[in-house]
Chains A and B, each alone.
Chain A
Amino acid sequence: MSVSVVMTVNGEVVAKHVEDRTLLVEFLREHLRLTGTHVGCDTSQCGACVVHANGKSLKSCTALAVQMDGAEITTIEGLANGDVLHPMQEAFRQNHGLQCGFCTPGMVMSAVDLVNENPDPSETEIREWLEGNICRCTGYHNIVKSISAGAKAMREGDPT
């Protein structure tokens, strides 16, 4: 069955007719062609698909597009302010927080939500928060470092 959904994605209102079983991640990737949000698993474990829904991190493989009707969604493509990277993106860049880049969008979106909740997370808090995000490349060392630096930058700067 086809249903209509309306949501705000990265600040733009989008209205589409989709199959009722369409997942949010499919909606973003296939219908809106926002391919920065990735799919790394089929058991809701890896976090490659994390976006923000109404300001909170959400695994977009775990929600139907219709459930998000009326929601405000931010994906990795919507995080930077024009050409200026979000402080968390910049922190990942400066601290080599990514290698192949596949887990990265989910990591960054998840990290921003962490810092929104806990502006000064400890290393342990960061590592615990990342339970739902798997990275096979970095060994997490530089991701943790990036998030600490990103949190500091978000505290100090204007978090746009």
Chain B
Amino acid sequence: MTDNNRGIGEAVVRREDSRFLQGRGQYTDDMNLAGQLFACIVRSQHAHATINSIDGSAAMAMDGVVSVLTHEDFAAYGGVPCGWGVNNKDGSPMAEPKHPILAEGVARHVGDPVAVVIAESPIIARNAAEHVQVSYSELPAVVSMQQALDASAKPIHGDTESNLCFDWELGDREAVDQAIAGAHHVTKLELINNRLVPNAMEPRCAIGDYNSATGDHTLYTTSQNPHVIRLLMGAFVLQIPEHKLRVVSPDVGGGFGSKIYHYAEEAIVTVAAMKLGKPVKWTSDRTEAFISDAHGRDHITTVELALDREGNFLALRESTHANMGAYLSTFAPAVPTYLHSTLLAGQYRTPVIYAEVKAVFTNTVVVDAYRGAGRPEASYLVERVVETAAREMGIDPVELRRKNFIKSFPHDTPVALTYDSGDYAATLDQAMIASDYAGFEARRAEAKQRGKLRGIGIACYVEACGVAPSNIAGALGARAGLYEAATIRVNPTGSISVLTGSHSHGQGHETTFSQLVADKLGIDYDSIDVVHGDTNRIPFGMGTYGSRSLAVGGTAIVNAVDKIIAKGKKIAAHLLEASEADIEFENGEFRVAGTDKMKPFAEIALTAYVPHNFPLEELEPGLEETAFYDPKNFTFPAGTYVCEVEIDPDTGTTEIVSFHASDDFGRIINPMIVEGQVHGGLVQGIGQALLEGCVYDTDSGQLISGSYMDYTMPRADDVPSFSVDTCVTECTHNPLGVKGCGEAGAIGAPPAVMNAIIDALSDYNVRHLDMPATPNKIWSIIHKASAAAA
């Protein structure tokens, strides 16, 4: 083994950082192609309106304007597709209205793209866009889900019967109804999971390029999954076959789900570049991002938990309305259904569970997966209702959870999942000690002396990462596979290129995946390079989302490495004149077992490419292997989070005074990167609980929280430093034993924070409070209670 191995478990400093720290990253907007033109999109300023006419002549007359495109220019192409179909309770398919690239006669949300101006500079394009005359007749907008489902509401799509997209269910309704009817205690909560705007710091950008001599298209785009875009946009929208379309996603500045989807702008620049014979670039500004990036969450839920006298959970029932926005984004139908209700068991043995979810079209931006995607909503409702039940029944909330924990694995939940591993009690214990849970009452008393209301809240979340296997996902409506692909290319002198279908947009794959390969092959970490984000360089890939990259993409890499080792053994057996069965591979050396006869990895590599002494009749030259890995099951990370808050009763402001996270992510490759993922997720979760909320005006459908002046992003002084640790049980069905860590923080933090706030307000008789728990809401509660007492 080399002394520069940097294998599994080491907190290796990230290799991608050198370029980012020196301003040498290459994000899509950093690229300019020769002769490039610039697109500016004219977007609807109405939530719902008929488009009577579009007159681009004044814009066209301006110096430097090259083209104005409208729906007619895209008439030959398909609409933006949806990648997951969900069925209604009666088995009929969901309503799937057309999602045109540019609005076709009707604009359905503020920000709906209506026309495109293409010009020689971004400024000219922007100025000219102001001169495109669009004549609208406003239609009544349905902004809230209640409005949309009202009997008097007109469907916003001409081709659907109502604004109901689907009415779906999961679980045994009858058994749940019975259990609830006969229960000793039923806790019922109505709660809202607030709509969020993902806000990756890099706004989306796309550059289309077309070579008319070869017929080759290239799309540079800010995507988490370039191969998926090639498939969706190429095959379903523009009918460009894969071999004629290259999709490149270079450095991408954060995604959090919002850069999974195929967006209209990608098709727009691709078509425009072909029509105009020049590259066309579109860069979103932040205002545009607010009204065109897919939003997240937006559920309204009623949940009931039935318990017996001792506090054993008997049944859980959920009824949710989920906002889809104006159209179906790529994975939107899966989020409130298969990625959500399947997690309703949480960490508990609840014997029967029933969920019904109605998805609704409204005149708002599309809603799709955002960090956690359905699982934060599940964890929130479970952990809020469990906490509330504990309070109602006078049982310690920690003990109520512990009592109901799943204790043996594998465990089949009543909502279709099989958890393979975990040790929930151990994780909880670890968190209790690390957070000094036992010492809380003293801290509360001390805070009280300072005039502060201190509260503690816990959340025990479970999540499911790496949606799988493909055949089951397909049976549940997925219109794509959910495997991952990797190629290990051993170069002649023994250096290695890892070609991965996963995509890194902050996760540090270049480091983690190199560690994996260095560890498996026992070779120098610096001789390994990771290539991602280019459909022409990588065989295939499904990309990065749902914390799948290590569990699925990492396993594909390991499987490809295993194939390399297997072939290497054959070559070594030939060179060492031994039988293949006697060759062992360890620490970068192929050795005849029990002897000192050995060939180093690099020599095997060179022999494969210079096959002068090589078993050519049995073996092909070269050393490159590809693996496609389709997981057998999801992985199930889980953890306990403990949050302590102090509320200032005079102002209603909440300060998070401490936050501890104990997570079980399975085996850990790079602990430094894992901690960073937890920190980032926690702040997104805390942001949802305290600060963030996407607000539409319910009459006009205007987005009120449409900029950083109005939408409260968590900033450094809103959050504390965190205490995090891990408690490991290995995943049983992937060779690395890994589970995934990308979304945990965003899943576990909201209920922990809200439970802490409710605890802090325990003197004020507050049973529930919806997120975000703004100072105004909290102050009003305190103020009302004080007024009533006076």
Chain A interfacial positions (CB closer than 8 Å to B):
19, 21, 29-30, 34-43, 45-46, 48, 75-77, 79-80, 85, 89, 92-94, 96, 98-105, 108, 123-124, 126-128, 130-131, 133-145
Contact = CB atoms under 8 A, between A and B. Distances in A.
A98 B17 contact: yes
Given A139-B681, A141-B679, A43 B721 contact: no
Interface string B2-14: 0000000000011
A93 B18 CA distance: 7
A108 B22 CA distance: 10
Interface residues of B, number: 57
B708 A139 contact: no
B371 to A, nearest CB: 10
Contact of B679 (A93, A104, A124, A139): A139
B506 interface: yes
Interface of B: 13-14, 16-27, 29-30, 32, 123, 199-203, 251-254, 256, 285-287, 505-508, 672-673, 675-676, 678-684, 707-709, 713, 715-717, 719, 721-722, 745
Given A100-B202, A102-B200, A137-B506, 11 more contacts: A41-B708, A43-B286, A76-B21, A77-B24, A92-B21, A101-B20, A102-B201, A124-B717, A127-B716, A142-B675, A145-B721
Contacts of B251: 100-101
A29 to B, nearest CB: 8
Closest 7 CB pairs of A and B: A36-B23, A101-B20, A102-B253, A100-B506, A139-B679, A99-B506, A139-B683
A134 B13 contact: no
A75 B505 CA distance: 23
Nearest to A108: B21
Contacts of A136: 199-201, 254, 256, 680, 684, 713
Contacts of A35: 23, 26-27, 29-30
Contacts of B745: 139
A45 B676 CA distance: 24
- Interface SS of chain B: loop
Contact of B200 (A100, A130, A138): A100
Contact of B676 (A21, A77, A99, A128): A99
A32 B664 CA distance: 48
23 contacts: A36-B23, A38-B27, A38-B201, A43-B707, A45-B707, A46-B201, A85-B21, A89-B21, A92-B17, A96-B676, A98-B20, A99-B507, A100-B506, A101-B17, A101-B20, A101-B25, A104-B20, A108-B21, A131-B715, A139-B680, A139-B745, A140-B715, A140-B719
Given A134-B708, A137-B506, A140-B716, A40 B202 contact: yes
- Interface SS of chain A: loop
A130 B717 contact: yes
Given A43-B708, A99-B676, A127-B717, A77 B22 contact: yes
A45 B22 contact: no
A131 B21 contact: no
Identify the interface centre among A43, A136, A142, A144: most chain B CB within 10 Å of its CB.
Answer: A136
B722 A100 contact: no
A149 B290 CA distance: 35
Contacts of B199: 136
Contacts of B673: 96
A138 B694 CA distance: 22
A128 B506 CA distance: 25
Nearest to B252: A100
A102 B202 contact: yes
A104 B21 contact: yes
Given A43-B286, A136-B200, A141 B721 contact: yes
